[in-house]
Amino acid sequence: MKFSLGETHLETEDELTSSTSTNDFKAAQRYRKRKQRREELSFKPYILRVKKAKTPDMKLSSNALEDLDNLISSVYQMYCSELKRLTSLTKKKTLSIRDVETATKLCIPGKRKGNAMNFGSDCVNLQESYLKQTPMEV
């Protein structure tokens, strides 16, 4: 296969293949199509769901929705990179509550850090109390 950057021209050498390899090619082509269909992570449905639950009478423009989605995506990417760095430093495969707290302290600046920590600890306590009330079935 030859490909040159200066030209938009691609040359390939075709080889004769047996009938079994065409089945492999079709399977690979299906896998490739399935892989290409995967879309970018979007938080838009979740933003709309929370907005509807909190303020059902408020409207949200598509530009505002896009900005909120970009904001949440960037914060998500920041958390992921920080959590990845923390897990590589501790050499563990499992995240703990302390790792998430540390990532929050590193990612969120100023006064919002304290509010985020309080909200996160309240959510963890609520989840733990819920799990104590309803034991897991095996």
Number of structural domains (the chain) is: 1
10-residue stretch averages of pLDDT, the chain, 138 residues long: 47 50 66 64 91 91 95 91 90 86 87 88 86 74
Tell me, what's the pLDDT at 95? 86
Give the CATH number for residue 94: 1.10.20.10
In a domain, 68, yes or no: yes
Burial of residue 35, with CB atoms counted within 10 A of its CB: 0-12 exposed, 13-18 middle, 19 or more buried = exposed
Taking the C-alpha atoms of residue 89 and residue 104, their distance in angstroms, rounded to an integer, is: 16
Helix, strand or coil, per DSSP, at residue 10:
strand
Domain residue limits at 82:
43-51+59-132
DSSP string of 85-126, one letter each residue: HHHHHHT-SS--HHHHHHHHHHHS-HHHHHHHHHHHHHHHHH
Q: Distances from the Cα of 38 to the Cαs of 24, 31, 79, in angstroms?
A: 22, 11, 22
Q: What is the pTM of this model?
A: 0.58
Tell me, what's the pLDDT at 9? 46
Tell me, what's the pLDDT at 4? 46
Q: Residue 87: CB partners within 8 Å, gap ≥ 6?
A: 93, 95, 99
Tell me, what's the pLDDT at 24? 67
In a domain, 117, yes or no: yes
Tell me, what's the pLDDT at 128? 86
In a domain, 88, yes or no: yes
In a domain, 83, yes or no: yes
Nearest to 42 by CA among 16, 15, 19, 76: 76
Taking the C-alpha atoms of residue 78 and residue 76, their distance in angstroms, rounded to an integer, is: 5
Tell me, what's the pLDDT at 137? 66
Are 78 and 107 a contacting pair, CB within 8 Å?
yes
In a domain, 27, yes or no: no
In a domain, 19, yes or no: no
H helix or E strand, kind and range, residue 3:
strand 2-3
In a domain, 23, yes or no: no
In a domain, 28, yes or no: no
